[in-house]
Amino acid sequence: MSAVAARRNVAFMMVARAGVLTATSFFLCVAGAAAANPAIPGRTYAPEALQGRIAGPLAPHETVKIHVLLQGRNEDELDGLIAAQSTPGSFAYGRYLTPQQFGSYFGADPATYARAIAGLRAAGLTILELPNNRRDIVAAAPAATLASLFQTPIDLHVEGSRTFYAARYAPLIPPWLHAVAVTGLDDYHEMHSHMRIAPAQIAGGQFSYAPADVAVAYDLNPLYQQGLGGNGVTMANATFGAATASDLAGFETTFKLPAAKLVTTPIDGPSCAATGCNGESTLDADWATATARNVTFDQVVAHSTRNKDFDDVYEYIVDTLGASTHVVTTSWGSCEQEMSKSELALDNGYFQQAAAEGQWWFSASGDNGTDDCENYRRRTVSVDFPGTSPYVISVGGTRLRAAIANGGVTRYESESVWAFGNCGYGGNGSNGAGGGGKSALYPKPAYQTAITPHDGSRDVPDVSLVADDVNDGLFVYDGGRLQSGWGGTSEAAPQWAGLLAIVEQKKGNYKKVADPHARLYQLAASADRAKVFHDVVGANNGVPACAGDIAVFPGYDAVKGFDLASGIGSYDGAALVRAY
């Protein structure tokens, strides 16, 4: 664990020891009791406070950690700088910032920042971390202290089998704090894994692609023959649960791969037991290192699947690793409509900071087609964050068709978009479909204007790769055994990140790697498009109706050129690395 993470953990545990009751023990005391909580005139209920039922107040001494986001300086210049950093001939070309440099120019006004820190301490909060970006403050305090500071009760809720806490009202931020957003006053929202497993899980149960098959299909072998495997490059994975060294070694031994270096960095302590919750991270580790075979793979592990714990992971990767790690993959996301405004402001700010540092994020686009919220009764199409951030590469899913002889792939043939079968939501056919569509939050970024629909919105996915669990499926070594039939956009994102790690090795310096948003869309609009990308054509990423369903989610067809089911398409690895 890093020194920064260790210091934060020690500080957090010191605050936690002051608690008298945990949320769980308090809930046992009040379960079944209806709490009378009259509304305060003129106050707006927080959206999270409307979920589940109130079981009583959060224990007054329960420790709650928050992130406070302040207004940065010179923010109107930031997107211009990011564009210039990837424009040959520009004054800023390749001059990516360190986190410290970012903080010195784009951080909050120093005097305002200092007053905010002093004010939080005076109000009874413990400062856990002052990030290098000098725009955020990580702090913790008993629930009663935060309820007083932000003038809102913090209630314990029950929803089905889970409990969570939530501020009853949108917080009233004291004028002296000058905060743009405060996160952590609830732990309702959760991140979702983007993997699928076909019913026949054991090796031999169905045909699945091995690393050698994928290397042939996507033309990676010429890279390996040149000694390009991500050597000297560290890739981070923002995840929950941790792949084990023994499982990764089993995968590498089975498929005769080099031994990649696996690093595990838990944030705020271990997230779970060694087995039982690490399947997603195992999939990520296996296939990131199946592509970038000599990379160092640093899995940065959230304490839970709650969004507030992923805030900590994002902050650590961007603000602590920003000077040393420049390729990141994540297979966890949440539909835009389920993200709070404060979380979106904080997290998108980290991704924007990452772009200025030359740190490139790849995110799975989702496995439920155009219904990323996975609640068909709401009748609202939805797409997945963080992939919808204009500073993150969203990676969709395909069904790969390849020529096979003697049990192995001999050549690439075609791809269609990963799609549900005749019936959605677990019906016959595939277990999922590649996420894609229009962002409800972010306008169209400049890099998308040349080849995407004129819809005014950030369109996703940007690119795609194999993800179909039923018709394709990849091998994964999990729980001490080789398994087949794994899929989801969780297997596509780490492979794309792996290819960028190879680009970084080939360039010899991350400062020579242009923003993949800018470069990929430039290549897609050029005469070289057909050489470096496979155009994904066929099928639709909507959710078809089944008997008894009350709604159908229309999707997007995978057609010639860019589309909102497969984006630009998949890659010809060797050709793309040459052209990059």
CA-closest candidate to residue 384, choices 359, 361, 367:
367
pLDDT of residue 470: 85
| Residue of 45, 5, 1 lying closest to 309 (CA atoms) | 5
Asked whether the beta carbons of 500 and 516 are under 8 A apart, the reply is yes
Whether residue 127 is contained in a domain is answered as yes
Give tens-digit pLDDT for 245-273: 999 999 999 999 999 999 999 999 877 76
* pTM over 0.85, yes/no: yes
Which tens digits make up the pLDDT trace of 60-86?
Answer: 999 999 999 999 999 999 999 999 999
337 & 369 share domain: yes
User: 418 and 304: one domain?
Assistant: yes
Within a domain: residue 98? no
Q: How far apart are CA 216 and CA 574, in angstroms?
A: 11
Instruction: Answer whether residue 202 shows pLDDT above 70.
Output: no
- In terms of domains, do 199 and 158 share one? no
Is 570 contained in some domain? yes
State the total domains in the chain.
Answer: 2
Among 183, 207, 236, where does a domain finish?
183
Residue 419 lies in a domain: yes
| Co-location of 236 and 373 in the same domain | yes
pLDDT computed for residue 19 by the predictor: 38
Residue 200: pLDDT band (50, 70, 90) is low
Q: Is 471 or 298 the better-scoring residue by pLDDT?
A: 298
Quick one: 118 and 196 in the same domain?
no
Tell me what pLDDT residue 7 has: 47
Q: Which DSSP state fits 316?
A: I
The yes-or-no verdict on residue 1 having pLDDT over 90 is no
- Answer yes or no: do 167 and 220 share one domain: no
Q: Residue 222 above 70 pLDDT?
A: yes
Nearest to 394 by CA among 373, 365, 368, 371: 365
Could you please report the per-residue DSSP string of 96-109?
PPPHHHHHHHHS--
Collapsing DSSP states into helix, strand and coil, what is residue 179? Answer: strand
CATH code, 200: 3.40.50.200
Q: What is the pLDDT of residue 185?
A: 98
Is residue 420 domain-shared with residue 501, that is, in the same domain? Answer: yes
The overall average pLDDT reported for the chain is 90
Domain boundary among 129, 152, 183: 183
Cα gap 409→402, rounded to integer Å: 6
Q: Which residue has the higher pLDDT, 185 or 42?
A: 185
Residue 555 lies in a domain: yes
Is 88 inside any structural domain?
A: no
154, 183, 212 - which closes a domain: 183
340 falls within a domain: yes
pLDDT digits (tens, 9 = 90+) for 466-525: 999 888 899 999 999 999 999 999 999 999 999 999 999 999 999 999 999 999 999 999
Same domain, 240 and 145: no
Statement to judge: residues 48 and 124 lie in one domain: yes
Q: For the range 85-92, what are the long-range contacts, defined as Cβ-Cβ under 8 Å and sequence gap of 24 or more?
A: 85/356, 85/358, 85/515, 86/514, 86/515, 86/518, 86/519, 87/518
Cα-based distances in Å from 288 to 328, 348, 407, 502:
10, 24, 23, 11
365-402, pLDDT tens digit by residue? 999 999 999 876 666 889 999 999 999 999 999 999 99
* Together in a domain, 119 and 211: no
How many CB atoms neighbour CB 10 within 10 A? Answer: 10
pLDDT band at 23 (very low <50, low <70, confident <90, very high): very low
What is the band of 353 on the pLDDT scale with cuts at 50, 70, 90? very high
Domain extent, residue 38, equals: 3-72+107-183
Establish if 432 belongs to a structural domain.
yes
Q: What is the pLDDT of residue 34?
A: 32
Strands 63-70 and 179-183: antiparallel
Specify the pLDDT at position 378. 62
What is the mean predicted confidence (pLDDT) over 437-459? 96
Residue 243 has pLDDT above 50, yes or no: yes
Residue 471: the pLDDT is 83
Q: Residues 15, 153: one domain?
A: yes
Q: How far apart are CA 54 and CA 63, in angstroms?
A: 19
Same domain, 384 and 484: yes
Q: How far apart are CA 252 and CA 243, in angstroms?
A: 13
